[in-house]
Homo-oligomer: A and B are copies of this chain.
Amino acid sequence: MPALSKRDQLIHTALELFNQHGFHATGIDLIAKESGVTKKTLYSHFGSKDDLIVATLRELDVQSRSYFLKHVNEAGNDPRRRLLAIFDAAACWFREQNFFGCTFINAIGEYAEGNLSIRQVCAEYKRLGREFIKGLCEQAGAPDPQALADELSILLEGAIVTAQVSPQVDAASIAKRAASVLLEHALERTPT
């Protein structure tokens, strides 16, 4: 039972380095060295640095969504509590030692006009996040789940970048409070 395949080691290392130092600032040589792997092996698994970036973001997509899903499931069965648990999950995330914002947002910032597939992975991740929230809104009985989900998603994004840029602001709590207002406003109009 090998701990991790070389490929997974590379992705794991790249994820950490890209998150901490950014994409352009992280060289292939460093990723290979930190992974305990030669550059040749790296290039046998990934055709280029951009390929490695895309593979890394895909892995992060899976990890990140399962992170939020876990927190939501731990919040129990009440749909409103489940929705607000998203912001508790965010609060946990922001408190992590190596929180440097959302890697997808950071990636978009660095590849605003370069590699298209990088942007696509980021956009798809965010789209799936909105879909997830929309599902929770449906379960909560929101009359317009799409609209509510869009609003809550924007609150979450705003909390992430605020926590990144202005760490002294308790962005997660503020966003949760606002989300609660939006949620009640949307649900109290539900006919019965």
Measuring CB to CB, which residues of chain A are less than 8 angstroms from any residue of chain B? 20-22, 24-25, 100-101, 104-106, 108-114, 119, 122-123, 126-127, 130, 147, 150-151, 153-162, 164-166, 169, 171, 174-175, 177-178, 181-182, 185
Contacts and interface: CB of A to CB of B under 8 A. Distances in A.
A165 B104 contact: yes
Interface of A is mostly: helix
B166 A158 contact: no
Given A21-B114, A105-B161, 5 more contacts: A22-B110, A126-B162, A150-B169, A151-B177, A155-B158
A57 B171 CA distance: 23
Contacts of A165: 104-105, 108, 119, 122-123, 126
Given A122-B165, A158-B153, A185 B181 contact: yes
11 contacts: A21-B114, A22-B112, A100-B109, A104-B165, A105-B165, A126-B166, A150-B169, A151-B175, A155-B155, A157-B158, A178-B182
Given A104-B165, A105-B109, A159-B158, A151 B127 contact: no
A169 B159 CA distance: 18
A109 B109 contact: yes
A151 B177 CA distance: 8
A155 to B, nearest CB: 6
Nearest to A108: B165
Contact of A109 (B101, B114, B158): B101
Contacts of A123: 165-166
Given A22-B24, A109-B22, A178 B162 contact: no
Best-buried of A110, A157, A174, A177 by chain B (most CB within 10 Å): A157
A154 B175 CA distance: 7
